[in-house]
Every structure is written in structure tokens, then in C-alpha cells.
Structure 1
Amino acid sequence: MSVVTKPWGYYEDYFRTDDVVFKKIVITPGQSISYQMHHRREEFWYIVSGEGKMKINGAIWYAKPKQYFHIKKNSAHQMINDGTEDIVAYEMQFGFCSEDDLMRIEDQYGRS
């Protein structure tokens, strides 16, 4: 398993092939992933612990443990941790699972 550090926290791959990925994502308080989309894959997010918000195509849902979100191809999405503890989520990807399949729409860290 490999751990990848990001400005918002980190992710850890548990399983990775060209068409399926299973990973743990940890988002620290006050941080968020980019508002982004993927053209060639779908994602399912399952919230394990922590609370925050999930933004999908402009709509915002509260995210709390035992909730899951289905993010379809070409859907803009962002997990926001506005809580006081880490958000821990499992993400499963299906389709063309490359970290290069990423289009950032907004990014608080100045990444493109």
C-alpha cells in the first residue's frame, strides 16, 4: 500500500488496477479536495468518520459517517472538511483509473 501526501491530507491505495481502485482518503479539518471532475471514471465515496460537505455539480450535501455518494463521469465534485476532526472516507473508482484523469475547476492550493 502506498501513501500519497496532499495539501488537504493524504490517500492510501489498498488496491489499484487500470480499471478499479480502492483507497482510503483522509481530509484534515479546514481542508478540501479540489472541485474537480473525471471524464473516464466513476467514483463511490463512503464516509467512515468525521463530518463535512460533499459538493456535486453545485449541490451541497452534508456528509457524515455511514453515508455514501455516487459520482458519475463528468460530474464536478468536492469533499469539504468544515468540521473539527479528520474526515476518513473510502473511495472506489471504476473505469479508466488514472490520476491523470483529473480536471480541476477550483483549487484552494493554486494547483491547475
Structure 2
Amino acid sequence: MPGRGLSGSCVSKTASGSAKLAIHERGSRLDHRPPSIKVDKPWGRFEQYTHNLPCTVKIITVAPGGTLSRQYHHHRDELWVVLDKGAQIQLGEEVLKPEAGEKVFIPRGTVHRLSTPGEKEVRILEISFGEFDEEDIVRLDDVYGRVPQ
């Protein structure tokens, strides 16, 4: 989105071809996004997000009205692929409402939160790059009381 003070941000095209802000980035950390290639085949195409790298892959399902803690990680980057419409993603002070199929890269150290304000559950495919450990969640705010005192 040129002219809106978004230098250092990435614009990604959705399956429909419309350009949307899909990746939030901070300064020079853009160079640390995971490798990704698109390969066309006679039957269609595939997009490869990792090749022989240590990573963890999960599908996160957030119940209607649910919200994850506002958090960051010291030892891993995350790539979220939105599977269902209705997700709300907070990255720093910015709030994104991505469409299904959009990708959001979250570098380590970036404060983020995923929520579902609507009436349907939302699924996110999460690919974590780096050392994965559930103890690497630094919670800043949590509606379920999981922030250490």
C-alpha cells in the first residue's frame, strides 16, 4: 500500500488476485522471513515453506469468541496461513482481518494475538521456524489468567 507509511511491510496476493497487507514486518527483519517457493506443475502448483529445516507445523482452531494470549517468542518465527475467514490478528498495535488463504509472517520478538470475534471457529495453519518449545511463550495479557505474576 504505497504512500501510507508502510515501508518494511510486505504485500501478498490472495487467491483472488487482490493485493492486501498480509505480512507485518518491522524494519530490516524482513530479510529473516522463511524461504518460500512456488512451483507450477501440470496438475496445478505447490508452495513450499520449508525444506530440511527444523520446524513445527500445527493447525490452531480458535472457538467462536475465543482469543489467544497477547504474546511473543524469543526462539522462533511463525508463519500463519489463514484457513478460515473471520480471524482477527493483532501484530504490535496493528489489527489485521485476513481472508482465507492469506499468510502472515511473525518474526520472533513480535507481539501478536489471534482471536475469533465472530460466531464461527477459525483455523490457522502455523509453521514455526527455530527452536520450538511451549515454554517460549511470553504472555503479556491473557483472558484465561495465564500471565505469570
TM-score (norm 2): 0.61
Which of 82, 87, 92 is 1:47 aligned to?
Answer: 82
Structural RMSD (CA) = 0.9
Larger Rg: 2
Which of 64, 68, 80 is 2:115 aligned to?
Answer: 80
Match of residue 62 from structure 2:
27
Q: Is the 8 A contact 1:47 1:66 kept in 2?
A: yes
Query: Runs ≥4 in structure 1, deviation > 2 angstroms?
Result: none
Match of residue 12 from structure 1:
none
Q: Is the 8 A contact 1:48 1:88 kept in 2?
A: yes
Rounded to whole Å, the distance in 2 between the matches of 1:28 and 1:88 is: 9
Q: Is the 8 A contact 1:50 1:83 kept in 2?
A: no
Instruction: Answer 1 or 2: which has greater strand percent.
Output: 1
Stretch of structure 1 that moved more, 31-40 or 47-56: 47-56
Question: In percent, how many aligned pairs have the same letter?
Answer: 26
1:90 correspondence with 2:91? no
1:52, CA displacement in angstroms? 2.4
The structure with higher relative contact order (CA 8 Å, sep 6+) is 1
1:80, CA displacement in angstroms? 1.1
1:63, CA displacement in angstroms? 2.4
1:50, CA displacement in angstroms? 3.4
1:91, CA displacement in angstroms? 0.1
The one-letter amino acid of 2:60's match is: I
SS of the residue 1:88 aligns to: strand
The alignment covers a number of residue pairs equal to 94
Unaligned 5+ runs, structure 2? 1-53
1:100 correspondence with 2:135? yes
Match of residue 65 from structure 1:
100
Rounded to whole Å, the distance in 2 between the matches of 1:37 and 1:49 is: 23
Instruction: Answer 1 or 2: which has greater helix percent.
Output: 2
The one-letter amino acid of 1:35's match is: R
TM-score (norm 1): 0.80
Unaligned 5+ runs, structure 1? 1-18
